[in-house]
Every structure is written in C-alpha cells, then in structure tokens.
Structure 1
C-alpha cells in the first residue's frame, strides 16, 4: 500500500473518535416537523419507527407562518389527534400499538409561529435533538427540483442529522398515500454511503456504520471516479488514456481498502463499488442497481456559505434519490 494512503489512513484514525465494534448510535430525541400534509404524515411513519428502534423520545412540531391569529392550544390538540389517527392507536389490540401510542404524547406536540425552517432548526437546538425526520414536498418535475424550500433549508441549517423521507414504490411496496404506521415497516437492509475519502465523508461513514449496526444492515460503500476530460482524451493516445484511468482506479481501490480497515467498520457487513462517471448520476443509478433502501451522506461544510451550499453531491442526492436520504452535518 502506498505510503501516502497509509499516512492518510492514520491521520483519519487519529482525527476520528475511537470506535469499538460494540459501539451504538445514541439517538435520544427525534424531532418531526409536521404540516399535516399527506407527505409529512407519511414521514411521521419513519420517525415513529426510528424512535421505536432507538427508544427515543419523539417530538412533533407545527410551525404557523401566516400572520393571522390562531389558537396554539387548538392546533396542538389537532396535531396530537392527527398523529394518533395516523398511528392507528384508536384501534384496540396489540402491545405494539400501545407502544406507538406512548410515543405520541400530547406534551410532545409543539406549535410555534415564525419562519418554518428557522423555527424548526432553533427548536431542534433547544431540544438537543439527535435527528430530524421530515418529508419532501414534490415527487416529480419542478416540485421535485425545488424540493420544498422549508425542507431544503432545514437540511442545510439543521444542528443535527436530517432524515429525508421518501417512499420507493415498487413490487410489493405500498404508496405513501393512505398508509398508517401500523402497516408501515422501516428495516433497511442495504445502505449506500457515497465516499470521496475526505475526512468529512469518512465521518459520514462512521455514522452510517453505527446506524447499520442498529438495523443489522449492510453498508454499500460507493465511490465515483470523475470521467476523464474528452478534450484531454482526444489529445492523448488511447493507450495513455487507458493507463491513466487504470491508475486512478487502482488508487481509489487502495483508498477503499484502507477505509475498510478503520476500526468503526469492524463487525459491520460491508461491500464496495467503484464506478466511473458523474457522482450524482452514478449514485442514483447505484440505488437501483444495488436495491438500496437508504442513502447516508455527509455534507462538506459546517457553517457559512459552504453549509448553505450543502455540497453539490449531497444536495443533489437529497433532491433526486429514489429512496430516503439521511444527511450528516
């Protein structure tokens, strides 16, 4: 293994916290922004399942943006009743349903006034939330491109990881419309993690490893090699171009092998894939090729303009992936 790769690996190991194979992800508080739309109520299904898995407290928040007066108490009651109906807790029966009922507590249904994304992010800080679960608005066309300004801004400015819910409709899968949490299951088996071997993306891999342990899921570590510039190819012989591409692929493979040796991946099922192409196109194609249930990706910035831009790859994955996406800041 080249000395540069070994040195980089040691630097990453020193910069990330030590992780043992029995380490677990600590999600204690889940926040679900709700606007009572069908999409947000479907996202609540994911929030409930995740809260159940991690035995976390679930908080719902509705943000009133219009200037006219309204009753916060009445809206809080409506929010609570709507969530109860969605979770099917009025149906008498199983112990599991009783457990879901206990997750939706009246005192955890909050109503705020102001700009939705700002209030949601501020409230997440106040709660010290470990995860925000929200829905996208659009599924196709321009609505899909815009994602919904509130959802996109929450992803950009949230103080904690954000789970963006999206339902994959395929054989044996139910559409997001009209399904309650008593019928809904979230048990990801294959999690795609885009990596570019930067320290930021490796922090995302660590979070993904801990998340995968909680669901006994397999990680699909994916790297896309940027395609060679066609102008450069035209000026080089075919042999030289092929040699350059092979060298880049070998270096990426060495980086991937070094990544696989990091301590936080011990005990986690992993597979790797390296493809040549534009990152967002290859990631979205890989979701279908590898039957991916969830994408976990990190942003490239923490504050200021970098965080606002989110990182072009992460931003486009959130917009175009045909499965839920968990963004790690």
Structure 2
C-alpha cells in the first residue's frame, strides 16, 4: 500500500510546471496529503538566451502568494480547494539544493515537478534541475515533461517498469504493482539486454546477442516472474518483454511504441561508478521520456507501507 502525507511541488511558473501541478493536485487529493508549493529562484539569473524565448516569471518575494491564476484554476477544476496547501519562496545560488533541502527539512515524501521548464538551451549545457533532484533527493520523484497535449491527471492505464534484476529494480516492481492497483492499470515489465557484441563477431553473420546466447531470453523471463512473486504486494496483470539494445534509449522507445502512460524506475541499480561518469539510466529517461517518470530510491523515504516492505534507510544518495 502507498501512503503519502506531504508532497512538494516546485514551480518556476512555466507552462511545463503548470502541467505538472495537475498531477501534484490529483495525488494530494487522492491521498489527503499536504501540498507544499515552492518557488525557488536564483537572484539576477538571466533565464534568456539568443536561442530561446521564455515568458517572464511573476515578481515573487519571500512571504508572497505563490499560487497563480492558472494554478487556482486547476484547484477549481479538480474540486480541490480544500487541500492543505503551504506556499513558500526561497532563493539561493542554485535551485536544486534549495529544493532538496526543503524536502528534507519538511519531511516531504514525494516531489512532483516538471521537466524542460525555464532552462532552455541551458539544459543541454548544465543538466536540468529535475535530473539533479532525481539524483540527490532522498524521496521518490515524479517528473512530468511538458507536452502539446497535457497528460490527464491520474490517467495511467499502462505502467512500464524496467528491471535490471538488482534489489533496487525489485523495489521498483513493488511500487509499480501498488500504483497499478491505485490507478487500475496493467504492468509492462521490461528487461533490456545490453548490446555487447565484439565487432569481430559480426563476421559470423550473427548480429544479435540472442543468436549467440539464446537462453538469455528464457532465463530473463523466469527471473522477472520470480521478481513479480517475491517483490510482495498485490497481484496485478503483467506483460513481460525482453529486448536487446541500450537501456535508456530502448526504454524510452518502448514506452512510446507500446502506449505506456507512466514509467516506474529505480535509481542506483547496477551502474556503479558509471553513474558518476555518465549519469544513471533513470536520469537519462527523465531527460528524454515524453511519458511521466516515477523514480524510486533504495534509501531515504519510502511510500510503501506493510510488513513485506524492506527499505534501506541507512543508505544515502552517494552510495
């Protein structure tokens, strides 16, 4: 069972953030959770560039009201005017640490935020705030990318959970099962077998790892079936898919081609030191996925409640 008492919604007042606010309100209403709305900003930061044009943010000072007319309209549309909402403004030299510190100090259990907001071309140069939050926050993070047609609140019918057979991905399976029950969705469990053929092997006329090791697919299916049974939680309808490719790239492609509505993925899986050098698969998916992404952690705050839940609270974001 998933329980949430406090949700943090950071906003930069962009269209992207407004789309994410719809999901934040829906979750807060569903769980009777307190919703913290935070505007974090860097004084005198120039949000424009020669290659981007962004709308000006409203003038907001500490102690000011953060809820804008579009946000008030969302509350009215979802009949959520009675939600407990805390509004805050914070400034610092960097936005990411402000959000992470606020979440820790206020014992936030879930962060809901948009991706591709006001950073413009800076996203390509510096990395997005959302990816920074996914990497360092000690609670689950729900990211929503801006789209031409906004995602309907809570309209999740197919939930994709990629697995790498680590303990962390087993935890993601448990979250995905609980979310599937919550939204009446079915699961799509995906394992991507990384392409690792040596170029010399192409001379044999074989180009797939499945041709050299045909047992991989059968073994992977059995392992996923084991994870579904041993991860605990409710029984849900699940499809099992095995693909060959590159994890981040092909997870995003799968979600688009199989009409996935939500991706649930664990951070800190089997990437080890590669995470520090190249960024984790989860962060790459947050960057490129058009589908909302729910990332879960092996440390810190857990939304899962029940006797079968095992969560390593002693681990940390740098483990």
Task: Give the structure-2-normalised TM-score.
Answer: 0.77
Tell me the equivalent position of 2:43.
Answer: 66
Could you report, residue by residue, the CA deviation over 1:66-124 in whole angstroms, capped at 9, with x for unpaired residues? Answer: 06997412xx22x13446534253xxxx8x52xx112263xx00112213111110110
**Structure 2 CA distance for aligned equivalents of residues 138 and 61 of structure 1:** 15
User: What is the deviation of 1:285?
Assistant: 1.7
Q: Specify the alignment match of 2:30 in structure 1.
A: 53
1:102 matched to which residue of 2? Answer: 82
1:220 to 177, 184, 188: 188
Matches within 5 A, 1:155-194: 155-169=134-148, 174-175=149-150, 184-194=152-162
Q: Map 1:225-264 onto structure 2 (within 5 A).
A: 225-234=193-202, 236=204, 238=206, 243-264=211-232
Aligned counterpart for 1:135 among listed residues 114, 130, 138: 114
> Is 1:38 aligned to residue 15 of structure 2?
yes
Residues 204, 298 of structure 1: 8 Å contact kept = yes
CA contact (8 A) 1:29 1:129 kept: yes
For 2:4, the equivalent position in structure 1 comes to 27
What is the number of equivalent residue pairs in this alignment? 282
Within a 5 Å distance, the mapping from 1:9-24 to structure 2 comes to 24=1
Deviations 1:246-297 (Å, cap 9, x if unpaired)? 1222221221222232252542221110011122222122112210001011
Matched residues in 2 for 1:310 and 1:132: separation? 24
- The aligned residue for residue 289 of structure 1 is 257
RMSD: 3.3
User: 3-state SS of the aligned residue for 1:48?
Assistant: helix
Please identify runs of 4+ aligned residues in structure 1 that moved more than 4 A.
67-70, 141-148, 235-243, 304-311
Q: Is the 8 A contact 1:157 1:308 kept in 2?
A: no
Q: Is the 8 A contact 1:168 1:323 kept in 2?
A: no
CA distance in 2, matches of 1:242, 1:123: 47
5+ long unaligned stretches in structure 1: 1-23, 177-183
Q: Any idea what SS the aligned residue of 2:89 has? A: strand
Q: What is the DSSP-based 3-state SS (H/G/I as helix, E as strand, rest coil) of the residue aligned with 1:251?
A: helix
Give the match for residue 87 of structure 1: 74
Task: From the two aligned structures, give the one with the greater helix fraction.
Answer: 1
